[in-house]
Amino acid sequence: MSASRWIRILLFIGAAWLLSIIYLSRQPPPVWIARDAITRSSSFIDLEARIPVRDGKLARIATTAPGITPPAPVSVKKGRAQIRVPISASVESHGMHLWSALPASGEAPPAISNGTLTILDPHANWIAIDLDPLIADRPWDSLGTEDPPLPHTPVLDGLLQLSQHAVLVCSTRLREDQLPLFRKWWDRHSFPVSVIFPESDLLSLSELLASRLGAPVFHLTTVDRLPEGENRTPYSSPAFPVSRIAADWQQVETQLLNLLMLKEKEQR
């Protein structure tokens, strides 16, 4: 093989290597994603994280929740870590807190996305909300682009009002790997702190959680997504239609306050 041919081959290899380095440098770092979690249990809460490392690596948790002592690190399996965290009965830890999944070795991961860790007190109320048809003017695939979704102001204002009376638990078909971008978008537009479950639908999520939390005060979705039949929602919890119109959300808040007053009278 001639020297000039060798030079062309080496130049080609060098150019390919340089292009691969440039491509990799432009890729976002792998994110350790802590999923939102909620419980009414006074003894434990189950946490789950998506962790982009090989099986067998150890992961630990960190949280702002008072009275919670992080358990021993767990092994990552198929890119996930599942951790049952004990809750101390002697310390007041009800409320919404943050938690993170981190390497057990102590080094910082390339990037993290914090999840919420919510512990409901015995009398706390929650609402199940179908986010997708309501809050944004563009699909979630436009997150992180030059033309990201914009929130509908009446929906944002309505959620802020409802969050003063109950914990918002939201279903969405958002992909799990989109959570970091979604959370930045959610915070940037000052949405209320909520519990978000990606890749879920309203009724399946509500049925799963109602067995652990009790029934939600009600369900919110658009008219075309309202369930049918007499037992339309788990535990016959009512379902109300909403739109992107401010008047709808004002009516929903009035209905919520009426239901909470009725519930309070029944508990006396």
**pLDDT tens per residue across span 40-49:** 977 899 999 9
102 and 140 together in one domain = no
The pLDDT of residue 100 is 96
48 lies in some domain: yes
CATH number of the CATH domain containing 44: 2.60.40.10
Q: What is the pTM of this model?
A: 0.85
> What rounded mean pLDDT belongs to the chain?
86
Q: Which residue did the predictor score with more confidence, 15 or 159?
A: 159
98 and 187 together in one domain = no
Can you tell me the distance from the alpha carbon of 173 to that of 200, in angstroms, rounded to the nearest whole number? 6
261 lies in some domain: yes
130 and 115 together in one domain = no
137 and 78 together in one domain = no
The dihedral sign for the CA sequence 161, 167, 171, 172:
positive
Q: Which residue did the predictor score with more confidence, 185 or 260?
A: 185
Range of the domain at 141: 126-267
Q: Which residue did the predictor score with more confidence, 106 or 2?
A: 106
Can you tell me the distance from the alpha carbon of 129 to that of 170, in angstroms, rounded to the nearest whole number? 5
The pLDDT of residue 156 is 96
110 lies in some domain: yes
Q: Which of 56, 84, 119 is the last residue of a domain?
A: 119
Say how many domains are in the chain.
2
99 and 209 together in one domain = no
211 and 95 together in one domain = no
111 and 144 together in one domain = no
The pLDDT of residue 200 is 95
24 lies in some domain: no
Nearest to 184 by CA among 233, 149, 232: 149
The pLDDT of residue 106 is 80
101 and 201 together in one domain = no
138 and 52 together in one domain = no
The pLDDT of residue 61 is 96
Q: Which residue did the predictor score with more confidence, 89 or 173?
A: 173
- What does the pLDDT average to over 186-206? 95
Count of Cβ atoms closer than 10 Å to residue 197 Cβ: 23
Can you tell me the distance from the alpha carbon of 101 to that of 86, in angstroms, rounded to the nearest whole number? 16
Beta-strand runs (E) in 40-182: 44-50, 58-63, 74-75, 80-86, 95-103, 111-113, 115-119, 126-130, 167-171
The amino acid occupying position 113 is S
51 lies in some domain: yes
**Proportion of the chain above pLDDT 70, given as a percent:** 85
The pLDDT of residue 29 is 72
Q: Which of 52, 86, 119 is the last residue of a domain?
A: 119
6 lies in some domain: no
Q: Which of 71, 94, 119 is the last residue of a domain?
A: 119
pLDDT of 13 higher than 70? no
184 and 227 together in one domain = yes
65 and 137 together in one domain = no
pLDDT of 22 higher than 60? no
The pLDDT of residue 25 is 43
- In this prediction, residue 4 has a pLDDT band, given cuts at 50, 70 and 90, of low
115 and 130 together in one domain = no
76 lies in some domain: yes
How does pLDDT run across 225-240, given as a tens digit for each residue?
776 654 456 667 888 8
How does pLDDT run across 132-150, given as a tens digit for each residue?
989 999 999 999 999 999 9
166 lies in some domain: yes
pLDDT of 203 higher than 80? yes
